[in-house]
Amino acid sequence: MFTGIVEEIGIVKGFTKKTHGADIIVECQKVLKDTVTGDSISINGCCQTVAALGDCTFTANVSDETLKISTLGNFKSGDKVNLERALTPTSRMGGHIVQGHVDCRGKFLRFEKLSDFYNLTFEIPHAESKYVVYKGSIAINGVSLTVADIRDNIFTISVIPHTYQNTTLNILKAGDFVNIETDILGRYIEKFLSVNNNGSRLNEDFLKENGFI
């Protein structure tokens, strides 16, 4: 579990495709503190298990599913990535609940500077847009952000200077793809509302039969 508050920007030092999956080597410093093999680190919003540790690197084994659903398969040596260690029970939760389970890829459309703030606009698949709500939380490349505007499957986030300067959001170019994780609470609510205790769908007839309408 993560908070979406990026701790460090790392650099991809190696990316090797295999018959199944891939190995990625990331150079970093801060997130290696107290990290041991088997720990979880979020790489651009993807929860990955530390398979090996070096003096200033860690290696993760990326699954086929992660390569398919996220942008990790496009990594190349020298790429910058957002890093965050898994949450500990004593940590302040400054962002929102981020699982590190990417839902889809989004496309960066445009950038707008507003005095001290920045507006960034993205496009996501229509199927995922129902989970994005005005003033709701969303993770983009592992960064916890708030939706400032949503129209159909296009949404805009307003970014404070600190977040913009200390994450890889500042190197995005129009057309770049990013990892998107929508708020998990929305998915649970959808599940609870769509199925009642008997396994049938919650609909108008069910509400009438049980005296709700």
Q: Determine the pLDDT at residue 65.
A: 93
Question: CA 176, CA 113: separation in Å to the nearest integer?
Answer: 18
Lowest mean pLDDT among 38-52, 81-95, 122-136, 188-202: 188-202
Q: Determine the pLDDT at residue 1.
A: 87
Lowest mean pLDDT among 67-71, 92-96, 184-188: 92-96
Instruction: Please check whether residue 106 is in contact with residue 169, taking contact to mean a CB–CB distance below 8 angstroms.
Output: no
Last residue of a domain, one of 53, 85, 117: 85
pLDDT over threshold 90, residue 80:
yes
Q: Count of domains in the chain?
A: 2
Q: Report the pLDDT averaged over residues 112-122.
A: 92
| Residue 186 and residue 108 share a domain | yes
- Tell me, yes or no, if the pTM score tops 0.95: no
Whether residue 98 lies inside any domain: the answer is no
Residue at 46: amino acid letter: C
| Residue 170 and residue 134 share a domain | yes
Q: What angle do CA 50, 11, 121 make, to 5 degrees?
A: 105
Residue 114's domain comprises 104-191
CA 112 to chain centre: 22
Question: CA 136, CA 210: separation in Å to the nearest integer?
Answer: 32
Distance (Å) of CA 152 to CA 125, 133, 179: 10, 10, 19
Cα Dmax for the chain: 65
